[in-house]
Structure 1
């Protein structure tokens, strides 16, 4: 059947265009309707193409805010090359303020490269993979911890598959200059089914971010993302005259294996004893899990099995068995 998502945008046409990626969705209220996913294209001629996305998870707001700001900035900036912007990629999830789509339960960042016959969320992934990735040289998918996690500000990237891709990626990450950078294989975080991993598999220099967390908005995360995007646009020569702050020193981290992550083994109330960014040692107390049934019993004590830096921590207190509570990273020193 092929990709059913369509748009009126001509990506080769010079200038600015704004429309939607129209995702077919037949519902009780609209038999032949479509989901309007905002899509913008700035084309200034010869130069690289940068794909920018946010709202892949609807409850992560920092990237959504930053890309809306950036659109207004780009509208008044001379562009060389092309910038494609999708600030609400999983629009049904964005409107619902949820990580997953209320239409089909789809987690967009676990469905790449997508399919045309598995609901609207997989169709969005397929459109990005089959239509937008072939146009792009670089891609940034902006994430944050969302409703369930508090996250250290960090940029993630899968290692390049060729020397040329690795060199472009290193320069790309250095330009964005998040306070922390992690090269990852995706273990525990979606593997090859995420947008940035799929982009890397297509030869694109791609990265994603975590920009804080919780159900609100992190001003620090917004500032990091806007500064990073400004530097990237300038360094790639797409907007060479764009003002951008000088980068701070970047710390390089590696994620520790999922086996070192502390998970809830029962339902309960999570009482954390550590903060994101804190350095901890093996054996230290990460927190307590208070059970629901026998209130006279002491809580379970949760201890770290390895030392490292707390890179994420569960935000809600209410916890179910299997929830990730605290994750660790270590600094790369060589």
Structure 2
């Protein structure tokens, strides 16, 4: 089905164009209005196309700023050979509200793929990316951070691919981006097949996502990882032969453990962590405590890891509720230079 979202950009035209992906939305104050999702296209010729997105969750800022900085740099780039399509605020309603989910329909865009042309605005954005932008793309990078709820290891994540050829192309992209840690995951503990990069995998497009910050603020380290990774990819794929200073990156390649090895809040309470992302932990090692809100004199609930591994994330806010994810684990697969 054709997308109902539209833009004035001619993706085949040479040069720079800036417009919106216009998402139809009828509200109390605008019967025939549309939501303005910013979109930029830089086209230098018939080389590979990179589709770069951020703001899929509105409270994650490293990717949003990295893509804005990259767009300014590309606007004066004289040696662009490929095509770069940038959407720095993909879920515009969530970005403008500083929220993970859209305030218009409570939609989590990274749980909405492949989308629906005739559903709410979140599903329509997902469908536009899937039906209109994926056919143009040779690689996809969707930049994320921990947002307001998580403190995350700086990691780039990729799906395993549907066959050996796709797996090799995905691993190449993961190594090229060069985050301190890279992970292969099927997303079982999160969005599984409903994420942007999972949808890209189903279209045979090498794709990765990231987790680069903590809390609803800006991590200087995470921003630097995003900016360097983007430049390496654009350089190594021949899209921009020289864009800023290119330095070699290296990643420790990890694999997510089963969500059964994650730790979740057993009750409403105050969370005291004992470890941080990047720490190596052992089976039965104390992980932290939760102080029940129901009683000021109750003993805190002691938390222990059920498996050994590397801490991938921990909950950022102290206040926690039953079922909140507190810790997740990864295992080291090997190293890539």
TM range (shorter): over 0.9
2:239 corresponds to: 238
In structure 2, the residue corresponding to 1:147 is in which secondary structure? Answer: helix
Deviations 1:23-73 (A, max 9, x none): 001001111000000000011111001000000000000000000000001
Deviations 1:190-237 (A, max 9, x none): 111000010011010100001021121100000000000000000010
**CA distance in structure 2 between the partners assigned to 1:326 and 1:293 by the alignment:** 23
2:135 corresponds to: 134
2:175 corresponds to: 174
2:295 corresponds to: 294
**CA distance in structure 1 between the partners assigned to 2:138 and 2:12 by the alignment:** 15
In structure 1, the residue corresponding to 2:148 is in which secondary structure? Answer: coil
Q: Which runs of 5+ in 1 are unaligned?
A: none
1:25 corresponds to: 25
User: Mean Cα displacement is larger for which, 131-140 or 290-299?
Assistant: 290-299
Residue correspondence of structure 1 range 1-334 to structure 2 within 5 A: 2-77=2-77, 78-333=79-334
**CA distance in structure 2 between the partners assigned to 1:249 and 1:126 by the alignment:** 34
Q: Give TM-score scaled by structure 1 length.
A: 0.98
**CA distance in structure 2 between the partners assigned to 1:244 and 1:196 by the alignment:** 27
**CA distance in structure 2 between the partners assigned to 1:305 and 1:279 by the alignment:** 13
**CA distance in structure 2 between the partners assigned to 1:214 and 1:272 by the alignment:** 15
**CA distance in structure 2 between the partners assigned to 1:162 and 1:281 by the alignment:** 34
Q: Give TM-score scaled by structure 2 length.
A: 0.97
In structure 1, the residue corresponding to 2:293 is in which secondary structure? Answer: coil
Q: Measure how far apart 1:3 and its partner are.
A: 1.6
Contact 2:113 2:127 in 1 (8 A): yes
After the TM superposition, which segments of 4 or more aligned residues of structure 1 sit over 6 Å from their partners? none
In structure 2, the residue corresponding to 1:34 is in which secondary structure? Answer: strand
Contact 2:175 2:250 in 1 (8 A): no
RMSD over aligned Cα atoms: 1.1
User: Mean Cα displacement is larger for which, 246-255 or 106-115?
Assistant: 246-255
In structure 1, the residue corresponding to 2:89 is in which secondary structure? Answer: coil
Deviations 1:119-157 (A, max 9, x none): 100000000000000010100000000000000000111
